[in-house]
């Protein structure tokens, strides 16, 4: 779906220098607030990259992820200036993320460009105008970062911050037999429709017991028949501060 999105193509990285971003045209009657008032910077849409921009802003505003990424220096990631040197190990994706995050934090601009970052992904103009699934992109990006950071102090960054487990237990109300299934996750799908808060949505999908009865009975292998049962969803959640 994403082609060679996260292949390490060193030759595709732009050497352009960053300066002040130009102002974006807007259909709004009122222009966006100057950065000095909001202390925030947006990300330019390349045509259909709103899903990518949302993911990048989410990662940028996760302090644990951002600070762990910034803690990786050139001795571990290399330098973009050395990309043409033979045998030089330049870890393109984390370096481009560092550069983008630095722009979002430091440059006096209304919006930052992701062109150099998507160039490093190997994107073409066709990819930039196509809508993709942000959840799939998250998984691909996390996998690419894990691969790129092998051998560095950030080798466990994704697993440490985002890995969790879901243990689904179905308890038979007749014999008490417990059927258990465990799944690892790096992200969770949450239904928010008719929910008053994210906490309520998480509770409803991953904590609250689900009852099997009446027209929705559970087939117990021990009893070998349809019975009433309770499904219990137990979480082993990732780094606690990410959920506060």
Last residue of a domain, one of 144, 160, 176: 160
Task: Give the domain CATH number at 142.
Answer: 3.90.70.10
Last residue of a domain, one of 132, 160, 188: 160
- Token digits of residue 221: 């292998």
pLDDT of residue 3: 46
Domain co-membership, 36 together with 147: yes
Residue 3 placed within a domain: no
207-215: long-range contacts, CB 8 A cutoff, minimum separation 24:
207/233, 207/235, 208/233, 209/233, 212/170
- Token digits of residue 70: 């910034």
pLDDT of residue 90: 86
Decide: 107 and 18 in contact? Cβ < 8 Å: yes
Number of domains in the chain: 2
User: Nearest CA to 219 among 156, 174, 168, 162?
Assistant: 174
User: Nearest CA to 64 among 203, 157, 127?
Assistant: 157
74 half-sphere exposure, CB direction, 13 A CA radius: 7
Residue 33 placed within a domain: yes
* H or E segment and range at residue 29: none
**What string of pLDDT tens digits covers the 244 residues of the chain?**
444 555 554 333 334 333 344 444 445 566 656 676 777 889 999 888 899 999 999 999 999 999 999 999 999 999 988 877 777 788 988 999 999 999 999 888 888 999 888 888 777 777 666 777 888 889 888 988 999 999 999 999 999 999 988 888 999 999 999 999 998 988 888 888 999 998 899 888 888 889 999 999 999 999 999 999 999 887 677 754 444 4
Decide: 226 and 215 in contact? Cβ < 8 Å: no
Domain co-membership, 173 together with 117: no
Domain co-membership, 136 together with 239: no
Domain co-membership, 127 together with 212: no
pLDDT of residue 34: 65
Residue 5 placed within a domain: no
pLDDT of residue 159: 92
Domain co-membership, 134 together with 198: no
pLDDT of residue 75: 93
pLDDT of residue 106: 87
The CA distance from 37 to 192, in Å, is 32
Last residue of a domain, one of 138, 160, 182: 160
The CA distance from 78 to 73, in Å, is 8
pTM here is 0.72
Residue 213 placed within a domain: yes
CA angle 63, 65, 71 (to 5 degrees): 95
- Token digits of residue 84: 């043409």
């Amino acid at each position: 779906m994403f082609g060679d999105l996260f292949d390490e193509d060193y030759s595709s990285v732009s050497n352009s220098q960053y300066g002040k971003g130009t102002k974006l045209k807007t259909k709004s009657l009122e222009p966006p607030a100057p950065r000095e008032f909001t202390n925030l910077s947006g990300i330019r849409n390349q045509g259909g990259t709103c899903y990518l921009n949302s993911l990048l802003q989410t990662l940028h505003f996760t302090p644990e992820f951002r600070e762990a990424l910034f803690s990786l220096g050139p001795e571990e990631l290399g330098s973009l200036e050395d990309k043409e040197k033979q045998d030089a190990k330049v870890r393109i994706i984390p370096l481009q993320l560092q550069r983008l995050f630095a722009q979002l934090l430091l440059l006096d601009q209304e919006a930052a460009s992701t062109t150099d970052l998507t160039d490093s992904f190997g994107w073409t103009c066709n990819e930039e105008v196509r809508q993709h699934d942000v959840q799939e992109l998250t998984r691909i990006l996390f996998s690419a970062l894990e691969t790129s950071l092998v051998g560095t102090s950030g080798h466990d960054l994704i697993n440490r911050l985002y890995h969790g487990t879901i243990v689904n237990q179905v308890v038979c109300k007749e014999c008490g037999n417990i059927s258990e299934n465990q799944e690892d996750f790096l992200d969770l799908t949450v239904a928010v429709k008719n929910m008053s808060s994210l906490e309520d949505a998480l509770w409803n999908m991953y904590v609250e017991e689900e009852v099997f009865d009446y027209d929705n009975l559970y087939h117990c292998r021990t009893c070998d028949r349809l019975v009433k049962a309770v499904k219990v969803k137990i979480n082993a959640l990732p780094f606690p501060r990410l959920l506060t």
